[in-house]
Amino acid sequence: LDELTAATDDFAEARKVGEGGFGRVYRADALPSLPRVACGFAVKTALVGVGAQGLAELQSEVRTLSAACHPSLLPLLGACLAPERTCLVYPLCRGGSLEDRLYRTPAALERLRMLGFETPPPPLSSAARLRVLRDAASALHYLHGCSPMILHRDISAGNILLDERGNGYLADVGLARAAEATAGSSQQVSHLSTQRIFGKPGYMDPIIMQDGQASVLTDGYALGITLLVSLTGRGALGLLNACDYALDERPTRRRASRRPTRAGRRRRPMSWCGLWSGWRTSGRGSGCRSQWRCRGWRR
């Protein structure tokens, strides 16, 4: 903890580069106990007084990411579980979040400035957006293929980060849970019941609002909304209103009988991944260590 405190100038406001549901993110240039990386470090620290629930989420993230290895999944480099302050350490993605690069609000531009952009970066091209989404989809496909299966449950444009070369990384797996293998054939939809609803408004599948079950389908729904947000530049909630009457099954309160149901969904886990198969590039599946090195995480 002393090392992280010194590296962030006692968690100074001048080093804060972001803030989310878990806590704040600070920039650190070097940490003596970790190999130096050219991009620097992002220190994600929980807000004071998060309690047992916040600590449980942190422990879940540490367990999940410690065992995960994929070139488009933001790697966990270290963790501090001190009772007075809990922290996670990641590589710093200096390209900002996909959300900030899309909307370019004053707050987003200020966060990008803290990451090193002296002037606002140019808007992302359609090809660049698709490349970032392809990377995120590849990481999500990997998570769903783990044993036990890992559900992200909080996919949004704000949780997809970019490096300086425009590569995309799926981040903030702190709300993910390892779903135990379900009985039955491979055609059944694997799911995980929960009493707490995770996710951001507009990105959450109406199914999870009804029965509290997260699945590969609810992750795929959130990724699909992220795709629409990225290609249109509109907010997630605005998109839902615009698309409402274009859907065969409308998730509205006006016609409860028309709500989407699990019985009406395709029962192929990870079937959404076929959308991305045409965008896969050669050589992406050959060794996480070498690919992380190519992307600058290693010396």
Binding-site annotation, residues:
44
Closest by CA position to 14, among listed 28, 35, 34: 28
The yes-or-no answer on residue 154 being catalytic is: yes
Closest by CA position to 69, among listed 234, 297, 237, 289: 289
Beta partners for residue 89, in sequence order? 43, 78
What letter would DSSP give residue 73? B
Q: Considering 100, 154, 163, 219, which one is annotated as catalytic? A: 154
- Read out DSSP for 30-42? --TTS---TT-EE
Phi, psi of 103 (to 5 degrees): -90, -30
Cis peptide before 148 (omega within 30 of 0): yes
Query: What's the CA gap between 205 and 200, in Å, rounded?
Result: 10
Let me know: does 29 contact 91? Beta carbons within 8 Å: no
Binding residues for ATP: 44
List the catalytic residues: 154
